[in-house]
Amino acid sequence: MNIVRIIAAACLAASITPAIAQGQHTGAYTALTIGKASGEDGGTSGAIGFYGPHFGFEVGMIGNSEFAEGDALDYPVPHNYYTSLGTKRVGNTFGIDGLFFLGNSNSWHPFVGIGVYFGEKAEIARSDVTGWLYTQSSKSKTEVAGSVGLHYTVGAMMLGVSYHTVRGPGASIGVKF
């Protein structure tokens, strides 16, 4: 948790410093984003973000994995009588994104972002003899992610919409501090 605080402080300091030098309102805020991952990862996604007027970052995840870490035995089916269930997401996927805000409006804040996400994929099979699940093979997966979105601030509140290539579409709500 300390690393998250250090990263948050560094990003906030980097984004507030230019605004203070120019005499602008800092507009720093934090927000929670909830969404639904698209495609094969289809779980519920979320992120917590810390934003300044020019830069920000989000720590995100995709939950509701297709299989939990302990659902399948961690070795291949020991016989030839099984049905492959395909490649599935095992456990949760976690990552971090850097965001870059475009324009200088006091209310509308369009952004683009880039990040990296880490998870695990496994080929799962069900034994036709016992019905038990087995991990035929597994691999860690690292993905580069992109995002675009728009935040709208009014008073101390922030509302936003975004699309993330790993976490999918999302809605955000936050507060200025």
**Which distant-in-sequence residues (6+ apart) come within 8 Å of 36 by Cβ?**
42, 43, 44, 45, 168, 169
> By the 8 A CB rule, do 20 and 54 touch?
no
* pLDDT for the residue numbered 28: 86
Q: Which two tokens stand for residue 107?
A: 């209310």
Structure tokens of 105? 């409006």
pLDDT of residue 63: 87
Residue 45 and residue 61 in contact, taking contact as beta carbons nearer than 8 Å:
yes
Which pLDDT belongs to residue 20? 35
CATH label, 2-69+93-121+143-176, candidates 2.40.128, 2.40.160, 2.60.40, 3.30.870: 2.40.160
Q: Please give the Cα distance from 14 to 143 (Å, whole number).
A: 26
Q: What is the pLDDT of residue 99?
A: 96
Q: What is the mean pLDDT of each run of 10 residues along the chain (177 residues)?
A: 46 42 58 84 87 92 82 93 92 94 88 95 95 95 95 92 95 91
The dihedral of CA 36, 39, 42, 46: what is its sign? negative
Structure tokens at 128: 């036709």
